[in-house]
Amino acid sequence: MTVSSTVLTTAGPAGEGLRRGALLGLAAAGAWAAVAATAGLLPDVGDWPETTNFAVGAAVIAAAIALATLAQGLAPELARWLVRKSPWLIVIGLFLALWQLASAKLGWLPQPFFPPPQALVEVYAYDYADLGVNLLASFRLLAVGFVYGGIAGFLTGIALGWSSHAAYWIHPILRFVGPLPSTALLPIIFFAFPSSWSASIFMIALAVAFPMAVLTWSGVASVNTAYYDVARTLGVKPLALIIKVAIPAALPHVFVGLFMALGAAFSSVMVAELLGVKAGLGFYVQWSQGWGSYNNVYAAIIVLALLCSSSITVLFKIRGRMLSWQKGLVKW
């Protein structure tokens, strides 16, 4: 009996899952085959050198999905994966086919503002070195500013939540300066710092520090006082109370602050690169727009989206390891 006949004749819930996976998988393969046919068989309106390579790549993806669909009877995990992912594969394939038709084949979308997908492939194929350099520059700027701002906000939040004297002096300043967007201080920041790099670091750190301080403060202040009483009866010193009781109990709030701070950091790094820093994805986007290379603009935006998503994924992995008892409550 062949794999395909096994898929069609298996009874019960497992057989129903296989049949559903087969239908979805074949639909996904058909969607990507439509992408390949649209790109490879219809003539281009304009000059798009990577059309053939794009069509071949879409055909390879369609063949891979079809083979996975035929082999799912031998691998139940593959069947479940097809059921989960095939709807997205179908939607992405149809979107690429429509995008291809509207831009490269029928010319409905004005150029160069809306280039076809193979124009992005061209950027990744020939301009990957420059794109990689700017990606590393953005990552470095983001990482340094995020670390400095995260540490400053974390320590400030602990001081606010632990000491009423610190709260008396710091809280009014935090309420006055914290909600102010760091980008509003651009004229002062770029004048006060010796270089655009250091000014950008400060701007990112300032954007990160406020949510970190507020959420850490909330976490420390919400710790049950009974925990401190028990620790004091065991002879724990005040500094150890902070390290061993307050900080661990406040970690769920701290990670919420980190997620909020990461979003603020990405916003600030883009503004910094657009206005001052001469390297990075923001600078690359601005430079490409100035030359009318909108395919480079969209390619950089996709890379930036992957960087943002990967950063949050890494942060969720760290949170899952440090807060294993909360694993699964919030998913990414």
Do residues 103 and 111 lie in contact, with contact meaning Cβ atoms separated by under 8 Å? yes
Residues 6+ apart with CB under 8 A from 85: none
Closest CA to 15 of 67, 86, 79: 79
Q: Residue 49 CA to chain centroid, in angstroms?
A: 30
* Domain presence at residue 61: yes
Shared domain for 214 and 142, answered yes or no, is: yes
Predicted local confidence at residue 8, as pLDDT: 44
Shared domain for 74 and 166, answered yes or no, is: no
Shared domain for 162 and 22, answered yes or no, is: no
Predicted local confidence at residue 187, as pLDDT: 78
Do residues 114 and 172 lie in contact, with contact meaning Cβ atoms separated by under 8 Å? no
Shared domain for 193 and 312, answered yes or no, is: yes
Shared domain for 98 and 229, answered yes or no, is: no
Pair of tokens at residue 150: 């995260």
Closest CA to 259 of 221, 216, 217, 222: 216
Radius of gyration of the chain (CA): 26
Q: What is the reported pTM? A: 0.82
* Domain presence at residue 331: no
Pair of tokens at residue 159: 């001081």
CATH code: domain of residue 168: 1.10.3720.10
Distance CA 160, CA 145 (A): 22
Do residues 137 and 270 lie in contact, with contact meaning Cβ atoms separated by under 8 Å? no
Distance CA 38, CA 287 (A): 32
Vertex 244, ends 241 and 246: CA angle to 5°?
A: 65
Shared domain for 151 and 283, answered yes or no, is: yes
Closest CA to 149 of 257, 15, 311, 13: 257
Domain end among 73, 98, 118: 118
Pair of tokens at residue 127: 């301009």
Three-state secondary-structure class, residue 259: helix
CA dihedral over 167, 173, 179, 183, signed as positive or negative: negative
Shared domain for 188 and 271, answered yes or no, is: yes
Number of domains the chain contains: 2
Burial 193-209 (b: 16+ CB within 10 A, else e): beebbebbbbbbbbbbb
pLDDT digits 0-9 by tens, 226-275:
877 788 888 878 788 888 888 888 888 898 889 989 888 888 888 888 77
Shared domain for 7 and 97, answered yes or no, is: yes
Task: With a cut of 70, list the residues of the chain below it in pLDDT.
Answer: 1-18, 73, 276, 325-332
Predicted local confidence at residue 6, as pLDDT: 43
Three-state secondary-structure class, residue 175: helix
Q: If you ran DSSP here, which 8-state letter would residue 149 be given? A: H
Shared domain for 166 and 23, answered yes or no, is: no
Predicted local confidence at residue 182, as pLDDT: 78
Do residues 299 and 131 lie in contact, with contact meaning Cβ atoms separated by under 8 Å? yes
Shared domain for 44 and 136, answered yes or no, is: no
Q: Which domain holds residue 261?
A: 128-326
Predicted local confidence at residue 179, as pLDDT: 80
Domain end among 63, 85, 118: 118
Domain end among 63, 88, 118: 118
Pair of tokens at residue 258: 């980190």
Distance CA 107, CA 129 (A): 30
* Domain presence at residue 77: yes
Which amino acid is located at 313 in the chain?
Answer: T
* Domain presence at residue 332: no
